[in-house]
Structure 1
């Protein structure tokens, strides 16, 4: 039986001959970025094969790896079969990821106080944030956060749904086990840190999107990923936490917030409740931007929602030098006269570009006229010899790219621009369609509320400078943080807030953008960059 030696983790992993390298590493608990869930399309699961004979690279590998990469033994682990003993070095980054745990909290009356403790959870596709709450006082005693363990099955919900489609009941079980394990590790940390017993946990409240809620409960999510996009349930769910595998007392209650549709979930309902949009006068737009963009428009309390497939670019995926929002990720960029200034998470040395970084890069390239309105790069040869843009805009191996950093080399490619175009086109077309449906123009919006992890690293100028939002909204943007978790906290402590969320989910109108008049024309127009 061959063995794999992971040099930079000092580990030896045995495996059957012919095994897929990514699967073996994943099953052994070795972290690898795998946004495409091992389909060979993202190019992120890189390893360096130091010794051992392996098959020649497949065409998919050659599309992602340069001749220099291949010469150094760099391969995509999802495309490699293990035929004999081999030694490898991991190439992906496992630095810490800061998880947004705080969010706007309105005044409310806590009428569910009791003895014991409760847990409020924001179960996100990428990250999980948790609060330990003393039910006698209603105060947060501690908190924990972690990466959602389902990341090894893909970084977006559609990749994970596809895993269920490929693996059936086994896939459903694997995805449930991954997220249950993640939550249990967080619970155990809180138990140890605050010296409490699992039997003292009375209730856990989960705020999550529709897919994550299904996968947590072990329900079949495959219907969410294909027409007519039908989930098993939309209503709130109450279960026994211990019986689905959570490390709690035998009588601990698990409550999951209600959903509006397959793609407007309990996390959005939580945010709308926390921000009190139903009670707000005027016109207000709520945005939660990620792989899937969720939008809710409030016109004097009348709520209209839609969702759009922004794609993974805004979370740093499908970008040549992209990465998740972790330590060392570039989160903001300034370009002046061809000189680049970088701001990274935790002020660490740059490693790659997270979503806010790629959006900032495109903002700066657009502001400094490196790209045309249609997103195409200018030709360096067409610029005057002394034009400062020549410093970083290059034509290399028949491809145009902008070099942001040399050590390590971090670049923006034409494909990166196209990925951002698709994301911003999806979001802007959703905003435009919502406003058209309500019969109001952008200048009539009183406020734009941005929630979630992505918005926490995002200056307003990036939203408007790329055309993701109309320019006239830049001074109306307010960031509210993790309102998904604060919504779970409200539901944990307040019966009236729980009832309010049930009502919101039932009453909120949902628009299917693909069925909107002239949507295709709106989307194509939304792809253009403002200049």
Structure 2
């Protein structure tokens, strides 16, 4: 056996000699950021080994760490094994995250209730939101939110599905246990705040993407991750909450909203219902921007939908200085001749760049000509030394980088710009493909409705400035907030809404982008950034 002592807290963790450091820390409840789920790709699970014996450093680790980090004992915990007693210094702290809990709600007729309480839950890949509802009045009494505990198994749905493949005996149960444990904690928190007995909860309604819904119910999600990408179920699920381990009364009902396909889940069906796309007579585009970009086009009574893999860059991941939308994250940037102006969440000292921040800085790099429409940095030697942009660009070998902040050093690399460019290409190409399928033009759109946690923090200036959305719709954007949670609330309060949501899911036509005519050309053209 070996012991790991945490310098900051004095906590002692025991493990087998040869155990992986990252997993040992995570299993003990110690926060270590690991966006790539321990794959040795992101380089963000750094700790400092102050003393003791660990495994030798691999070539991969040497490439991801800077020479000065290696000299001071910093290691990547995912690539480090504990060989004997060690003392570890943690280099990160878990920060308070911003989680969106509100959204637009249309008028609807609620069912009469004689008392009791309900719970609505929105399960996202990144965040989970729970609200306690007084059924008689329809009033929200309390809410709770947290980062999805499944983050330890991967930051995106495909990484979590891969975990099920890699751990066929236990993966499904582990992923279900993680989310159920989080839900129990949030229900307990909300009930405590409102002084409500959780046994008085009569129904729990859940909206989630398709993968999260499978993992909540303990259903094998592996078929979602490989061709032909078919989920085990899409219809609404009705069961008892206790059947999956949710702590409530023995007769508390659990209702999971319906889905359309592997990548158009109940969260998008809920959003489409909340935005009343089924009633629209004109041309309306609904888009939920996150790790995936899910898009629904309502045109002349027809509902077309698609999903595009935007990747985690737009949520601050896969970015060299990226982080989630937490305190200290840069969320807005302005590059001027007088210097770089930064706005951070909570007005804290800059700690990294979140999704809205990386879009803002890329928009500014394009506006100032530091990055060209092809996504390539301008050559430093092409600038005069007295050009205000000159000191912000530096060479790292043959690669160019933009120095956003010096202490701590926060960079925007060519790879970061490329990640944003790929996300932009994915979302815009989906947008264009749907319009082509419906036979309408950009200028024919009456409005574009932006939903979701991430979308709520994106000004039109960044969306249009980076070309994620075309200039023609810049003045037609409507932000609807957390429409997934709102849809779950409406279904909780009305049996009619449940019926109509299920009918809506059946009406939505899913379009597979990869099978769309000329999609590769559309995607390539959508990759080009706008010019200023």
TM-score (norm 2): 0.98
Q: Report deviation, 1:25.
A: 0.7
Q: Report deviation, 1:281.
A: 2.5
Q: Is the 8 A contact 1:338 1:389 kept in 2?
A: no
Q: Report matched runs for 1:355-434 at 5 Å.
A: 355-434=355-434
Name the CA distance, whole Å, in 2 between partners of 1:455 and 1:272: 15
Name the CA distance, whole Å, in 1 between partners of 2:416 and 2:19: 33
Q: Is the 8 A contact 2:131 2:190 kept in 1?
A: no
Q: Report deviation, 1:202.
A: 0.2
SS in 2 for 1:84: strand
SS in 1 for 2:169: helix
Name the CA distance, whole Å, in 2 between partners of 1:314 and 1:383: 30
Q: Is the 8 A contact 1:401 1:412 kept in 2?
A: yes
Name the CA distance, whole Å, in 2 between partners of 1:73 and 1:504: 57
Q: Is the 8 A contact 2:161 2:222 kept in 1?
A: yes
Partner of 1:81: 81
Q: Report deviation, 1:430.
A: 0.6
Partner of 1:472: 472
**Residues 312-371 of structure 1, C-alpha deviations (whole Å, 9 max, x = no match):** 111111100000111111111111126211111111111100111001110000011001
Q: Report deviation, 1:112.
A: 5.1
Name the CA distance, whole Å, in 1 between partners of 2:390 and 2:267: 45
Q: Is the 8 A contact 2:435 2:442 kept in 1?
A: yes
Structure 1 window deviating more from structure 2 (204-213 vs 448-457): it is 448-457
Provide closer, same or farther for how the CA distance between residues 417 and 83 of structure 1 changes in structure 2, counting only shifts above 3 A: same
Provide closer, same or farther for how the CA distance between residues 491 and 421 of structure 1 changes in structure 2, counting only shifts above 3 A: same
**Residues 91-149 of structure 1, C-alpha deviations (whole Å, 9 max, x = no match):** 23411001100011000000152321000111111111111111111111111111111
Q: Is the 8 A contact 1:34 1:153 kept in 2?
A: no
**Residues 46-90 of structure 1, C-alpha deviations (whole Å, 9 max, x = no match):** 111111222332222223211111112111111001001111122
Name the CA distance, whole Å, in 1 between partners of 2:90 and 2:433: 45
Partner of 2:67: 67
2:235 aligned with 1:224:
no
Q: Is the 8 A contact 2:132 2:191 kept in 1?
A: no
Q: Is the 8 A contact 1:424 1:467 kept in 2?
A: yes
Partner of 1:288: 288
**Residues 12-55 of structure 1, C-alpha deviations (whole Å, 9 max, x = no match):** 10100000011101111112222221111111211111112223
Partner of 2:131: 131
Partner of 1:315: 315
Name the CA distance, whole Å, in 1 between partners of 2:114 and 2:50: 59
SS in 1 for 2:474: helix
Structure 1 window deviating more from structure 2 (272-281 vs 173-182): it is 272-281
Name the CA distance, whole Å, in 2 between partners of 1:277 and 1:64: 47
Q: Is the 8 A contact 2:180 2:216 kept in 1?
A: yes
Q: Report deviation, 1:191.
A: 2.1
Structure 1 window deviating more from structure 2 (26-35 vs 121-130): it is 26-35
2:18 aligned with 1:18:
yes
Name the CA distance, whole Å, in 2 between partners of 1:9 and 1:357: 32
SS in 2 for 1:296: strand
Q: Report matched runs for 1:240-251 at 5 Å.
A: 240-251=240-251
Partner of 2:449: 449
Q: Is the 8 A contact 1:291 1:313 kept in 2?
A: yes
Q: Report deviation, 1:435.
A: 0.8
Q: Is the 8 A contact 2:362 2:466 kept in 1?
A: yes
Partner of 1:46: 46
Q: Is the 8 A contact 1:338 1:392 kept in 2?
A: no
Name the CA distance, whole Å, in 2 between partners of 1:490 and 1:301: 22
Q: Is the 8 A contact 1:43 1:64 kept in 2?
A: yes
Structure 1 window deviating more from structure 2 (295-304 vs 411-420): it is 295-304
SS in 1 for 2:211: helix
Q: Is the 8 A contact 2:44 2:76 kept in 1?
A: yes
Could you list the runs of 4 or more consecutive aligned residues of structure 1 that deviate by over 6 angstroms after TM superposition? none
Name the CA distance, whole Å, in 2 between partners of 1:60 and 1:340: 34
Name the CA distance, whole Å, in 1 between partners of 2:303 and 2:112: 28
Task: Supply the RMSD in Å over aligned alpha carbons.
Answer: 1.1
**Residues 225-274 of structure 1, C-alpha deviations (whole Å, 9 max, x = no match):** 00111111000001110121111011101100000000000000111111
2:83 aligned with 1:100:
no
SS in 2 for 1:496: helix
Q: Report matched runs for 1:482-497 at 5 Å.
A: 482-497=482-497
Task: Identify unmatched segments of 5+ residues in structure 1.
Answer: none
SS in 2 for 1:52: strand
Question: How many residue pairs were aligned?
Answer: 531
Provide closer, same or farther for how the CA distance between residues 310 and 402 of structure 1 changes in structure 2, counting only shifts above 3 A: same
SS in 1 for 2:53: coil
Name the CA distance, whole Å, in 1 between partners of 2:232 and 2:9: 42
Q: Is the 8 A contact 1:4 1:14 kept in 2?
A: yes
Q: Report matched runs for 1:210-359 at 5 Å.
A: 210-337=210-337, 339-359=339-359
Structure 1 window deviating more from structure 2 (11-20 vs 53-62): it is 53-62
Name the CA distance, whole Å, in 1 between partners of 2:124 and 2:365: 31
Name the CA distance, whole Å, in 2 between partners of 1:120 and 1:260: 20
Structure 1 window deviating more from structure 2 (113-122 vs 50-59): it is 50-59
Partner of 1:143: 143
Partner of 1:187: 187
Q: Is the 8 A contact 2:320 2:413 kept in 1?
A: yes
**Residues 462-510 of structure 1, C-alpha deviations (whole Å, 9 max, x = no match):** 1111111111211111111100000000000011111111011111000
Q: Report deviation, 1:220.
A: 0.3
Name the CA distance, whole Å, in 2 between partners of 1:223 and 1:525: 31
Name the CA distance, whole Å, in 2 between partners of 1:406 and 1:8: 26
Q: Report deviation, 1:276.
A: 0.7
Q: Is the 8 A contact 2:290 2:455 kept in 1?
A: no
Partner of 1:204: 204
Name the CA distance, whole Å, in 2 between partners of 1:70 and 1:461: 41
